[in-house]
Amino acid sequence: MISSMIVSQVAGIAAVMLWAGILPFAASWMLDGVVQIFRGNGLKLFFMGLGFAVLVAGTGYFARQYGLDASDAPASSIEGLNSLAQTILTFTVPLALIAFAARTIKLLLKSR
């Protein structure tokens, strides 16, 4: 009983870390690919970013499903994971946008 609850918690935390911690950076990599498409440099970076984003999202989904199937998660646990996700997203989304802007500015300055 206790081990299934721990497995559920670990899987839930893994899903939150993948979705809230890594997925914004994968999305910024896709935006880099969009910039490259507009510059006429092809689709390679976009498809790499898309593939990585799908991989991260899918892995997070399966971790979440595994955690939900492992045991009945109490409501307080789900609320805690939601709070954790919101806290992580508060930092990762702005950081991913800043990283995208910095890479784009560097690319534009390099091309001059």
Question: CA-CA distance, 27 to 88, in Å (whole number)?
Answer: 15
Token pair for 12: 């839930």
> Residue 88, class by beta-carbon neighbours within 10 Å (0-12 exposed, 13-18 middle, 19+ buried)?
middle
- Among 12-16, 48-52, 108-112, the range with the most confident prediction by mean pLDDT is 48-52
pLDDT tens digits, residue range 65-105? Answer: 887 776 666 777 778 888 999 999 999 999 999 999 999 99
pTM of the model: 0.84
pLDDT tens digits, residue range 25-65? Answer: 999 999 999 999 998 888 999 999 999 999 999 999 998 88
Strand segments, DSSP code E, in the chain are none
Domain ranges of the chain: 2-110
Closest CA to 82 of 31, 13, 18, 33: 13
Question: CA-CA distance, 84 to 53, in Å (whole number)?
Answer: 21
